Structure 1
Amino acid sequence: MDSVKKLFFPIGGGANFEERIYGALVVAKYLNAHIKFIASQMDLGLVYDMQMVMKGGAVFNAFKDTMLAELDDERQKNQDIFESLCKKADIKISDKNIANEATAEFETKQGVRSKVVEFESKFCDLLVVACPPNGDITATFEAAVMKSGKSSIVIPRALKEFKTDDILIAWSGTINVSRAVTQAMFLLKQAKRVHVISTSKYLSVAPNAKENLLEYLAFHGVNATFEEVVPTNTPGEALLNNAVKGNFDMVIASSSGENGLKEMSLGGTTKYFLQNTKIPVFM
């Protein structure tokens, strides 16, 4: 897709390393884009600072050599996994964009992971981010989604297939969901079905929102439908239920509500949704 040339995927901690890498590759393949993976390791400067304090010695040198060897082993293991998964996904490994072909690269940086991600994530068109473990917002996830200035496709930690034929928009009237709809327009225009849901709480204070949003989408050739839904007592459950019930491939939602990243559109916390979703979210 011509509007997206470069994706960025930050590798956070936790399990599902291979599944997360493969899921991001699947997205890159679908979008026919280049994707850069960034992993982070301890800043080696800290090791040498420790050496100055401890004034070296045989014990310290043995510790340093062991740690450096472990870091090298980890880098090589990650690189081998990356290359194997690229082959599986039929994606060429390259640090350059190749016209009409999905490509990928893997790099390991030194430093605090969230700081590395916050910096590196600014140099792409779109982020691909894995749901954090157990739905709990991590520093890496927050750095990518909230501090990059970019839109994100948040994928389940194990994703084998990616498509955007059927898209659900969770409309809450926030600045972020408005921006997300506009930035996802390249996907909406190619979708076969677009459905919008909202709540009576929002529609009661914005009675013309339905007509205005559908008209805006129609200007881009997107023929969408609209539905008012009732939230449940469990925050985030109504959004997930509607996404699953409607067999949607992707949800477009706000990355924040009134309380920052702790809330998602339709008035619920992200935790339930991120912990349970098997559906990617554009935010």
Structure 2
Amino acid sequence: MSRIVYVNGDYVPEAEAKISVFDRGFLMADGVYEVTSVLAGRMIDFAAHMARLRRSLAELEMDAPAGEAELEAIHREMIARNALEEGMIYMQVTRGAADRDFTYPEGAEPSLVLFTQARPLRDTAGARNGIRVITVPDIRWARRDIKTVQLLAPSMCKMAAKTAGVDDAWMQEDGVVTEGTSNNACIVTAEGTVVTRDLSSDILHGITRAAVLRFAREAQVKVEERAFTVEEARAAAEAFVTSASSFVTPVVEIDGTAIGDGTPGPVARRLRDIYIEESLKAAT
């Protein structure tokens, strides 16, 4: 059965979905996106994703394609039309179609596209066994706090990991970890403290990251938001990543060095369980 996708006001089979070749998302990567996870047919952290969308649009001086109530209704309709029980909803907003020019066009109508991806989120190989990563130079632009569709650099880093025979890459600048290709990076010290990069324009302000840190503090797990080096990560007791698509996923190897005993650690496993349990309680 073909997926139903949403394109600028219409719900259509994916094979029939069309967007202008002059859309600035296609020509200029002039767009932003959000990915919301779905468990048991309900959305996780939707309000937080909408807040980040507002921020991204404001930073790029881009108009919203619809009000938040309408965007929520579209998400729910996408879940219903695709019978989505577990997976993701991808939403992309671009500045719209206009003749190619580097300056922002006047009067362009924003484009809005949504599609679903059915996939396991709770029971995954990464959660069970952990993932292996390499470190690579961070070659992205300077405004990583805006969730734009400019994803070629992370794709290149992800391909470097695939070529190396591992699962993902952690990007670093001057020996200091910024984040993963599509996730926030965290380590756990020998004392059990969770350490993750502090918020700035250097990293994406992860929605799952924020929730996990909140749950960790509520569970009396000490948290430090600060930069950490590649060497510190390799010597950590545990490591893990957070994202809407992976929740909390243990990292068991960095650059060929086993983290801890090379298996998912207790802090990461506990935080993953807490995140899933609390997110399901609050799902909408």
TM-score strictly above 0.5: no
| Larger Cα-atom Rg | 1
- Structure with higher helix content: 1
With structure 2 as the length reference, what TM-score do the two structures score?
0.25
- Structure with higher strand content: 2
